[in-house]
């Protein structure tokens, strides 16, 4: 019997017997690194997200790095990213020795504000990385109008299955990057995926993830002339996904739409209960968007609340409810604040999101009583 007193984690992957059974084939076949299961996962992911190419990699950070390299980002170039995002978005730019340019967010969506992007574009702008934060797509159409011709790399780490105007995340810009970390809607443990309709980008990324080799390991080992090694005409990386991960990914991907539908219903429970908490702003979904609901992130108004955001999080922890800040404002992190001489209020909305956002538990292992317990615990603070 599930009780309200059980510990409710902020996130938890939903895996079980099917994933366990899927691991047997690569384990017994002996093909454990990138191979047929990864290829099948890529094909299914491309079909689901409406793109020609899906290229599996070791994680979303690697995906972002390879996406920027494929575009040709290098030293002297500038890349615009939101100031409020996970640090990996920013790190990927520095991996290319490029210059990071922050832009502020729209506090109502937590996504990069296209008007702020317009202020940051220069002749050196080589790419823009909008983040589909928490599963809500950034306004890619508005960004395209503001920055015509500038490549767009979607950081869709949180957004598998999300959509804007019926176009899936990962098909909206030039390249899309996804994460399969356990906090995401579907997981392979670690893992990532790159999507694109650009044949040249796909070919470059495919080589870069495998040390720069001209052919894949699978093709080389199954070819008629095993004594011929691949050509290496570029410096590449070992960013491959394993077939163990690919096998789990295939099973998880087939559950993606069901997972999102469940999360939508769970989000509706919160949204129905929490308006009675006057100091808490619940997330909104603009018309035309399909939210992926990787996280349910609210804002605390400390001028009205009985406690600070952090005290509220401590109170909920005592009730067995795990919470987190939405994410962090990267421009406030020590390395980036020092490197670019930035102050917290240089990006006021990102600062507010950093200080006052709160992610409530939302995952497919939760049941109705869990959501009621979270909501009622917040209501008790009113």
264: nearest Cα among 185, 196, 323: 185
Write out the two tokens for 179. Answer: 């994460």
pLDDT of residue 5: 61
Residue with tokens 């009985």: 306
High-pLDDT (> 70) share of the chain, %: 96
Q: Considering only CA atoms, which of 116, 142, 121 is closest in space to residue 79? A: 121
Mean pLDDT of 268-286: 95
Would you say 33 and 243 are in contact if contact means Cβ atoms under 8 Å apart? yes
Residue 126 is encoded by which pair of tokens?
Answer: 């080589």
181 lies in the same domain as 215:
yes
Q: Measured between alpha carbons, how far is 54 from 37 in angstroms, rounded to an integer?
A: 13
| Res 4: pLDDT | 45
Looking at residue 219, its pLDDT comes to: 62
pLDDT, tens only, 361-375: 999 999 999 999 999
Query: Of 179, 228, 176, whose CA–CA distance to 205 is shortest?
Result: 176
Percentage above 90 pLDDT, the chain:
92
CB 111 within 8 A of CB 133: yes
* Angle subtended by helix axes 368-379 and 309-318, to nearest 10: 130
**Which of 171, 100, 149 lies closest to 336 in space, CA to CA?**
100
Asked whether residue 4 is assigned to any structural domain, the reply reads no
Which one is catalytic: 7, 124, 145, 184?
A: 184
Is 323 in the same domain as 282?
yes
Checking if the pLDDT of 220 tops 90, the result is no
Half-sphere exposure of 263 (CA within 13 A, CB side): 32
pLDDT-derived band at 217, boundaries 50, 70, 90 = low
- The total domain count for the chain is 2
Three-state SS string across 175-214, please? EEEEECCCCCCCCCCCCEEEEECCHHHHHHHHHHCECCEC
Same domain, 98 and 244: yes
Q: In this structure, are 111 and 185 located in the same domain?
A: yes
Same-domain pairing of 109 and 250: yes
Query: What is the reported pLDDT for 2?
Result: 42
Tokens 């702020």 label which residue? 116
Domain coverage including residue 213: 17-254
Q: pLDDT per residue over 237-247, tens digit each? A: 999 999 999 99
pLDDT at residue number 215: 74
Q: Strands, DSSP E only, in the chain?
A: 53-57, 78-82, 99-103, 105-106, 111-112, 125-128, 153-155, 163-164, 167-168, 175-179, 192-196, 280-281, 289-290, 296-300, 357-360
Best CA proximity match to 297, nearest among 235, 352, 348, 373? 352
When mean pLDDT is compared across 5-9, 95-99, 280-284, 373-377, the lowest value belongs to 5-9
Q: Look at residues 254, 282, 316 and tell me which one is the last residue of a structural domain.
A: 254
Residue 337's pLDDT band (cuts 50, 70, 90): very high
Whether the full predicted model's pTM is greater than 0.85, yes or no, is yes
Residues 6+ apart with CB under 8 A from 306: 279, 381, 382
- What would the pLDDT profile of 157-181 be if each residue is shown by its tens digit? 999 999 999 999 999 999 999 999 9
Give the CATH number of the domain where residue 342 resides.
3.90.1150.10
Q: Are 204 and 196 in contact (CB under 8 A)?
A: no
Same domain, 103 and 66: yes
**What is the C-alpha separation between 179 and 185, in angstroms, rounded?**
9
Assign 294 to helix, strand or coil: coil
Task: Answer with the one of 254, 276, 311 that is the final residue of a domain.
Answer: 254
The answer to whether position 131 is within a domain reads yes
Dihedrals phi, psi of 125, to nearest 5 degrees? -65, 115
Q: pLDDT band at 235, cuts 50/70/90?
A: very high
Q: Is 319 a catalytic residue?
A: no
pLDDT grade for 257, boundaries at 50, 70 and 90: very high
Do 302 and 243 lie in one domain? The reply is no
Q: What's the Cα-to-Cα distance from 108 to each of 240, 288, 349, rounded to whole Å? A: 37, 16, 9
Domain boundary, last residue among 196, 222, 254: 254
For residue 234, what pLDDT is reported? 87
Please check whether residue 1 lies inside any domain of the structure. no
169 & 304 share domain: no
Q: Is the pLDDT of residue 324 over 60?
A: yes
CA–CA dist 283, 66 (Å, integer): 32
Q: How far apart are CA 159 and CA 60, in angstroms?
A: 12
Sequential DSSP letters for 5-70: TS-B-S------HHHHHHTHHHHHH---SSSHHHHHHHHHHHHHTT-SEEEEES-HHHHHHHHHHH
Q: What is the mean pLDDT of residues 279-308?
A: 97
């Amino acid at each position: 019997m599930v009780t309200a007193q059980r510990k409710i984690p902020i996130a938890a992957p939903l895996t079980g017997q099917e994933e366990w059974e899927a691991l047997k084939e690569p384990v017994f076949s002996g093909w454990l690194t990138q191979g047929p299961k990864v290829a099948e996962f890529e094909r299914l992911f491309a079909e689901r997200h409406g793109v020609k190419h899906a290229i599996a990699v070791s994680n979303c950070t690697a995906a972002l790095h390879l996406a920027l390299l494929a575009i040709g980002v290098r030293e002297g170039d500038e890349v615009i990213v939101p100031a409020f995002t996970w640090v990996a978005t920013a790190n990927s730019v520095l991996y290319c020795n490029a210059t990071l340019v922050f832009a502020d967010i729209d506090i109502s969506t937590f996504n990069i504000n296209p008007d702020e992007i317009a202020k940051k574009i220069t002749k050196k702008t080589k790419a823009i990385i909008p983040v589909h934060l928490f599963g809500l797509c950034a306004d890619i159409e508005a960004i395209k109008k503001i920055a015509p011709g500038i490549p767009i790399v979607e950081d869709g780490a949180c957004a598998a299955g999300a959509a804007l105007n019926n176009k899936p995340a990962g098909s909206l810009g030039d390249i899309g990057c996804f994460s399969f970390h356990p906090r995401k809607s579907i997981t392979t443990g670690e893992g990532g995926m790159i999507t694109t309709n650009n044949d040249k980008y796909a070919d470059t990324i495919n080589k870069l993830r495998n040390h720069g080799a001209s052919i894949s390991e699978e093709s080389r080992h199954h070819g008629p002339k095993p004594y011929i090694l691949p050509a290496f005409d570029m410096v590449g990386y070992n960013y491959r996904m394993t077939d163990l991960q690919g096998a789990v990914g295939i099973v998880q991907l087939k559950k993606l739409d069901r997972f999102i539908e469940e999360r939508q219903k769970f989000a509706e429970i919160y949204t129905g209960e929490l308006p009675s908490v006057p100091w808490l702003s619940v997330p909104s979904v603009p018309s035309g968007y399909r939210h992926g609901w990787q996280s349910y992130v609210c804002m605390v108004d400390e001028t009205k609340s009985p406690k600070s955001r952090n005290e509220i999080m401590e109170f909920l922890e005592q009730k067995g409810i795990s919470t987190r800040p939405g994410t962090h404002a990267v421009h406030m992190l020590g390395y980036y604040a020092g490197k670019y001489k930035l102050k917290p209020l240089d990006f006021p909305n990102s600062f507010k999101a950093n200080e006052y956002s709160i992610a409530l538990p939302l995952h497919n292992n939760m049941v109705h009583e869990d959501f009621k317990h979270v909501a009622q615990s917040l209501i008790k603070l009113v």
